[in-house]
Amino acid sequence: MQNNTDHIRIIQTTEEDLDLVKRLFRQAMDLQGKNGYKVWQEIDPEALLKDIRSRSQFKILQGEEVLCIFSVQHNDPFIWGERDRNDAIYLHRIVVNPAFKGQKQFEKVLDWAKAYVRQHGLRYVRMDTWAENDRIIAYYMSFGFVFLGHYKTSDAPELPLQNRNLHVALLELEVK
């Protein structure tokens, strides 16, 4: 799915993007760590490649510049359990290029996600984030997300390494 807003394009990443994707993750981890926020301890390159190959990872482009990357899942039973009823998309691994931080990249991701939900007859956009980061939880809630509670992820091999054994906040946005 492609969306053109403010001369941006949202398209799927390709295997040629893998080095860029890994670099953006590393930069985001370094920046968040320096700012005192909890960050992923490692990134699973195989999981990133799986996202690319399954066509579930996207990039926001302005010209040739990559502003942000994010992944989408249509089911997320390992985190959402019985709430996962084929009525939502799940946003994961949203990483903003530090050169474009502060330029409302999440708003672009969310606009795309809401349009996707509407086009596919779904009801929700769901996501999880660090339970310990009240600031990011409040940020997502400012977009209309509702905080549903906390959850501790398992160490299931089906989860990417960076998503195992985490204490996360569950957030949901009903799209009308």
Question: What is the rounded CA–CA span in Å between residue 90 and residue 80?
Answer: 10
Average pLDDT rounded to a whole number, residues 152-168:
79
pTM of this prediction exceeds 0.85: yes
Q: What is the pLDDT of residue 166?
A: 80
| Tokens 């940020």 -> residue | 139
Give me the chain's average pLDDT, please: 89
Sign of CA dihedral 143, 148, 154, 158: negative
Band of residue 84 on the pLDDT scale cut at 50, 70, 90: very high
Domains and CATH numbers, the chain: 8-174 (3.40.630.30)
Of residues 66 and 5, more confidently modeled: 66
